[in-house]
Amino acid sequence: MSNKSEVRVRFAPSPTGDLHVGNIRTALFDWAYARHTGGKLIFRIEDTDTERVTDQYIQAAIDTLKWLGLNWDEGPEVGGEYGPYLQSQRLEIYATWAQKFLDQGDAYHCYCSAEELEERRSAQMKNNQAPGYDGKCRDLSAEQVSQYKSLGRKPVVRMRMPDGETVFVDAIRGEVKFEHKYVPDFVLARADGSPLYTLAVAVDDVLMKITHVLRGEDLLSSTPRQIRVYQAMGVAESEYPIFAHLPFVMGQDNAKLSKRNGEVSIAWYREQGFLPEAICNYLALLGWSPGDDKENITMQELVDLFTVERVNSSPARFDMKKLEAINGDKIRALTLDKFLEWSLPFLINAKVITGNPQEIEVVKSALPIIQERIIKLAEIPAMLKFLFVKDFKVEAEELGKLTDEASQNVLKVALAKVEPLQSWDHAGIEAVLRSALIDELGLKPRIAFSALRIAVTGSHISPPLFESLELLGKERSIARIKAVISK
């Protein structure tokens, strides 16, 4: 994709909340491309919007990338020779460049008020003209400037867009052209001196020697402005970063996926019990393909196979069912020790266990019987709660299913068959219950075992019945069946 000596890509979020699916898909592609090429991933925080970007959100972004395993080579907590990596700590750098642009004549002071700009914008739209800055302050006389100053007006710094067009080759979309008549002079710095995105992002990309910019399609239209800043900085065209604008991620309603369109915060997926590798695996498939209809991939395979040429320019659709299927596959592929490691926080947070060694041993014994049945780790507490409840009782809603004569008869027959058992293991339990309830009573398995499942686990949804009885132990199993019969 490039003959640049060392690939340097950057993930540069402006975290005004938890990182969401779109952010992380971009970070993942940046990470995969850096690792595939042996390059470097720079993690930069765009936090000049101090009202919306908080320390809490910045830390959450750092924690999320760590949790996903998307490690970076330069940035917060790592450092690097081109820091600092928080834009709020680089304000003097931006101010210096803004002044340089003014001195060179590439930029000028604009004294137009917000009300005047809005009034002129409305007039443009009324006259069917493309809305945008009309150049009113481009060539003010010294007298006009003095007059504005006497009124106490504080100017913004605005970049001059030359006549003509900007043409560049996007690594995903091919040649892209913007006519400058649709790219009016733009603001670089506010009246208080604080930089806008277009100034800060372009200056940082140059100073941090970024070679490739992989980012969302929504930023495509800002590219000619960035290129204009590169020009004003004296960067040769051959040294511009290579742009690759990633396709939109759409919701099931075909609207662009956003914070308002479904649960898209990565924090939500983490709470629900999606594994980091499942999230990364699925997001990698949104707009990119490893080929051969392969869908279940490891992080190493992603690194080995990822190329920008395989990124599609068409929008990708987010499918929760597909993500759940991949997550279920990843859970089933875990070793028992890893599955235990992932499960314990969910059980402890749900107050099912306190985390003492005895409880952990029981959990470890129980996990193999539910590993095939769950798609999210958050399902584990409800599945295993019956093993740890001290004052066990069947909820009224479920208890109502056990009061009819047929259910009571099943429970009495089952009790009579399992109570004499000397050896309490699932194979022996299954043998006597199948013989009594299916062979002798002629019941279908679903009917035969449903009442028993509710009686011992408290729910009609549970791990496999016979293994559950074995784990629960004979004494507690018998006591629970008897309690339901007596009611």
Average pLDDT over residues 34-53: 92
Residue 65: CB atoms within 10 Å: 25
- CATH, domain range 396-486: 1.10.10.350
Told to judge if 259 belongs to the known catalytic residues of this protein, a careful annotator would answer: yes
State the Cα–Cα distance between residues 317 and 315, nearest whole angstrom: 7
If we measure between CA atoms, which residue out of 419, 437, 431, 436 comes closest to residue 466? 431
What is the identity of the amino acid at 353?
Answer: I
Determine if residue 280 is labeled as part of a ligand binding site: no
Please state whether beta strands 174-179 and 186-189 pair in parallel, antiparallel, or not at all (unpaired).
unpaired
Angle, CA of 149, 153 and 159, to the nearest 5°: 95
- CATH, domain range 334-387: 1.10.8
Q: Where in the chain is the domain with CATH 1.10.8?
A: 334-387
Residue 2's pLDDT is 44
With the C-alpha atoms ordered 329, 330, 331, 337, is the resulting torsion angle positive or negative?
positive
What DSSP character marks residue 15? -
CATH number of this structure's domain 8-72+249-317, picked from the four choices 3.40.50.620, 3.30.1490.20, 3.40.720.10, 3.90.480.20? 3.40.50.620
State the Cα–Cα distance between residues 453 and 460, nearest whole angstrom: 6
Q: Where in the chain is the domain with CATH 3.40.50.620?
A: 8-72+249-317, 90-246
**pLDDT tens figures, 153-209:** 999 999 999 999 999 999 999 999 999 999 999 999 999 999 999 999 999 999 999
**pLDDT tens figures, 432-465:** 999 999 998 888 888 889 999 999 999 888 899 9
32 with 71: CB under 8 angstroms?
no
pLDDT band at residue 18 using 50, 70 and 90 as cut-offs: confident
Average pLDDT over residues 135-154: 94
Determine if residue 163 is labeled as part of a ligand binding site: no
pLDDT band at residue 128 using 50, 70 and 90 as cut-offs: confident
Q: Which CATH superfamily is domain 90-246 in?
A: HUPs (3.40.50.620)
Determine if residue 253 is labeled as part of a ligand binding site: no
Beta sheet of 174-179, edge-to-edge order: 40-43, 8-11, 212-216, 242-246, 165-170, 174-179
Collect all residues with Cβ–Cβ distance below 8 Å to 175 and sequence separation of at least 6: 167, 168, 169
Q: Where in the chain is the domain with CATH 1.10.10.350?
A: 396-486
Alpha helix locations (H) across 234-356? 266-272, 276-284, 299-305, 320-332, 336-349
Among the options 4, 209, 256, 259, which is catalytic?
A: 259
Taking the C-alpha atoms of 125, 126, 129 and 133 in order, what is their torsion angle to the nearest 10 degrees?
Answer: -50
Q: 400 vs 336, which has greater pLDDT?
A: 336
- The predicted model scores a pTM of 0.91
If we measure between CA atoms, which residue out of 69, 32, 18, 29 comes closest to residue 269? 18
When mean pLDDT is compared across 181-190, 205-214, 263-272, the lowest value belongs to: 263-272
Written as one string, the DSSP assignment of 361-413 is HHHHHHHHHHTTT-SSGGGHHHHHGGGT-SS----HHHHGGG-SHHHHHHHHH
Is the pLDDT reported for residue 141 higher than 50? Answer: yes
pLDDT band at residue 244 using 50, 70 and 90 as cut-offs: very high
